[in-house]
């Protein structure tokens, strides 16, 4: 016997507020919970920066943000469109101008029964024409399209918070929104990286993939040139 699927909700708005208020609309998708969407979420969680935190230890710059989030999650499967709008408008207000390319970037909220994502993504305008909503949401939330995301999840009776950044380091606007100090995130939080070493006596660079840095490595002088690149 197949288990009953839960509903999946996704709201989105343009990251750059349109000059014409009539264009500043929320697009809404409602689809049956699909395993492919959960796979996309797991893919983002594999790439989080730093460690998971208890959501109770996260203190957004604007305190009412947590009230909106709690309301949206607690009211599920009922929709809380008013709180969603307030949350998205506030979130995009913290993004820097270069993060708001017109009609190319969106902010959105993905809501399932046990997890909520607040995202800032690239979006191809052609996706608006697709009737396959699961495919649309899956493409929007693919790690190559997500610039940053906060993941709020129910786990073992607790609510956890984790964050994804495509650059593998906190952007100032995103960190400010959640009340997090970016300098508190250490190099070790980068996770898997590509390490390129260039030796003076060897004509070709040597590249090591999916390396994890350790404290002793990070705090010693290097007799060679290195380049560190996060693996996305």
pTM above 0.85, yes or no: no
Q: Dump pLDDT digits (tens) for 147-173.
A: 999 999 999 999 999 999 988 888 889
Q: Where are the alpha helices (DSSP H) in the chain?
A: 35-46, 64-75, 81-94, 133-140, 172-178, 215-218
The domain segmentation of the chain, as residue ranges, is 7-184, 188-230
Tokens representing residue 45 in the block: 């969680």
Q: Which residues of 64-90 are buried (b: 16+ CB within 10 A; e: fewer)?
A: ebeebbebbbeebeebbeebbbbbbeb
pLDDT of residue 132: 65
Q: Dump pLDDT digits (tens) for 114-149.
A: 999 999 999 865 555 545 677 678 888 888 899 999
The neighbour count for residue 50, using CB atoms within 10 Å, is 18
How many helices (DSSP H) and strands (DSSP E) are in the chain?
6, 10
SS3 108: strand
Residues of the chain with pLDDT under 50: 1-2, 130, 184-192, 210, 215-232
Total residues found in the chain within this entry: 232
Report residue 20 CA to chain centroid gap: 28
- CA–CA separation, 223 and 60 (whole Å): 42
- CA–CA separation, 146 and 162 (whole Å): 15
Under a CB-based contact definition with an 8 Å cutoff, are residues 61 and 174 in contact? Answer: no
Among residues 109, 228, 212, which one has the least CA distance to residue 167?
228
């Amino acid at each position: 016997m197949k288990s009953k699927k839960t509903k999946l909700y996704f709201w989105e708005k343009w990251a750059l507020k349109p000059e014409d208020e009539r264009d500043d609309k929320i697009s809404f998708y409602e689809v049956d919970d699909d395993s492919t969407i959960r796979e996309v979420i797991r893919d983002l969680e594999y790439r989080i920066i730093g460690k998971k935190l208890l959501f109770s230890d996260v203190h957004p710059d604007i305190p009412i943000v947590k009230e909106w989030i709690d309301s949206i999650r607690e009211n599920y499967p009922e929709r809380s469109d008013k709180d969603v709008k307030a949350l998205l408008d506030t979130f995009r207000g913290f993004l820097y101008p270069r993060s708001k390319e017109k009609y190319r970037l969106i902010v959105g909220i993905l809501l399932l029964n046990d997890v909520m994502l607040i995202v800032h993504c690239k979006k191809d305008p052609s996706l608006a024409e697709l009737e396959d909503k699961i495919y649309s949401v899956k493409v929007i939330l693919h790690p190559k399209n997500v610039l940053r995301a906060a993941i709020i999840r129910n786990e073992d009776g607790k609510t956890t918070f984790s964050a994804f950044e495509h650059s593998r380091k906190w952007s100032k606007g995103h960190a400010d929104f959640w009340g997090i100090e970016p300098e508190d995130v250490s190099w070790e939080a980068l996770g898997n990286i590509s390490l390129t070493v260039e030796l003076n006596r060897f004509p070709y660079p040597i590249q090591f993939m999916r390396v994890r840095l350790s404290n002793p490595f990070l705090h010693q002088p290097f007799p060679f040139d290195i380049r560190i690149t996060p693996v996305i």
